[in-house]
Structure 1
Amino acid sequence: MSQEEDYARGLLKGFEEGQQDAWEEIIKLSTKGYTSRELQIMAKTKKSMMFQRVKLKKDELERVLGRKLDLPELTSEAAGKDRVELMPGWSYVVKEERPAKSFALFSSLVSSGARGLCISRAHPDMLKKKYGFDASVIWLTKTETPQKATDQKGVEFVSPNNLAHLASSIREFLSKGENGAVIIEGLEYLNTQNDFKSVLKFVQLINEQIVLDKGFLFVPVDPATMDPKDFSLIEREMSQVI
Structure 2
Amino acid sequence: MNPGSFAQYFSGALFILIGIYGAVQSFNNCRKHEEPVKGFARTLLISFLLFGVGGGLGILLVIMISPSLWVIEAISIMGGYLLLAGSSLSLIEKLEGYRKVKRKNVPAKEIELPAVGLVTSAKDAKTLLRTMATYFKVPILAVGREHPDKWVENMEVTPTEYIWLTRVEHPGAVNPSSLHVLNGRITKFLRENPGSVVYMEGVEYISFYVDPRSLTKFVLSVRDTAIIENGHFILYVTPEVMEPSQFAIFKRELEPINVSGFLDRIQGRTLFGTLPPTRETKEGSEDASAEGSKEGSGVSKEEAEEVEPLRRKEKAEEGR
TM-score (norm: length of structure 2):
0.44
Instruction: Indicate if the aligned counterparts of 1:118 and 1:183 stay in contact, CA closer than 8 A.
Output: yes
What does 1:68-83 correspond to in 2, within 5 Å?
none
> What is the aligned counterpart of 1:102 among 98, 112, 125?
125
User: CA 1:241–1:110 in 2, change beyond 3 Å: closer, same or farther?
Assistant: closer
**1:10-46 C-alpha deviation (Å, 9 max, x unpaired):** xxxxxxxxxxxxxxxxxxxxxxxxxxxxxxxxxxxxx
Correspondences of 1:17-28 after superposition (within 5 Å): none
1:195 aligns with 2:211: yes
**Among candidates 131, 142, 161, match of residue 177 of structure 2:** 161
**Cα gap change, 1:241 to 1:227, in 2 (>3 Å):** farther
Q: How does 1:33-112 map to 2 (within 5 A)?
A: 85-87=112-114, 90-96=115-121, 99-111=122-134, 112=136
Larger helix fraction of residues: 2
- In structure 1, stretches of 5+ residues that fail to align are 1-55, 61-83, 147-154
2:137 to 102, 113, 124: 113
Higher relative contact order (CA 8 A, sep 6+): 1
Query: Corresponding residue for 1:73?
Result: none
Tell me whether 1:216 sits opposite 2:232 in the alignment.
yes
Q: Distance in 1 between matches of 2:185 and 2:215?
A: 16
* Separation of aligned partners in 1, 2:257 and 2:152: 25
The answer to whether the 8 Å contact 1:106/1:182 transfers is no
Q: Deviations over 1:145-200 (max 9, x none)?
A: x4xxxxxxxx6210000000000000000001322111111011111221010000
How much does 1:130 deviate? 1.9
The range that moved more, 104-113 or 203-212, is 104-113
SS in 1 for 2:192: coil
Residues in 2 aligned to 1:240 and 1:222: alpha-carbon distance in whole angstroms:
13
Deviation at 1:86, TM superposition (A): 1.2
Whole-angstrom CA distance in 2 between matches of 1:156 and 1:100: 25
Q: Is the 8 A contact 2:139 2:193 kept in 1?
A: no
Task: Specify the structure having the higher radius of gyration (Cα).
Answer: 2
Instruction: Give the AA of the match of 2:250.
Output: I
Equivalent residue, structure 2, for 1:66: none
Cα pair distance change 1:241/1:132, threshold 3 Å: closer
* Aligned position for 2:149: 125
Cα deviation, residue 100, structure 1: 2.5
Asked if residue 181 in structure 1 is aligned to residue 197 in structure 2, the reply is: yes
Give, as a single letter, the amino acid of the residue that structure 2 aligns with 1:103. Answer: K
Between the aligned residues of both structures, percent identity stands at: 27
1:137 matches 2:176: no
Query: Partner of 2:200: helix, strand, or coil?
Result: strand
Residue identity opposite 2:215 in structure 1: V
Paired letter, 1:123: H
CA distance in 1: counterparts of 2:120 and 2:138, whole angstroms? 23
More strand by share: 1
Q: Tell me the SS of whatever aligns to 1:193.
A: coil
Deviation, 1:110, is 2.0
Which string of whole-angstrom CA distances, capped at 9 and with x for unpartnered residues, describes residues 27-68 of structure 1?
xxxxxxxxxxxxxxxxxxxxxxxxxxxxx99x69xxxxxxxx
TM-score by length of 1: 0.57
| Aligned equivalents of 1:241, 1:133: Cα separation in 2 | 19
Q: Is the 8 A contact 1:235 1:241 kept in 2?
A: no
Matched residue SS, 1:230: helix
Q: What whole-Å deviation, never above 9, does each CA across 1:73-122 have from its counterpart, x for those lacking one?
A: xxxxxxxxxxx9414xx1111123xx221122122112222000100010
Structure 1 vs Structure 2 CA RMSD? 2.2
Structure 2 gap segments, 5+ residues each = 1-106, 259-320
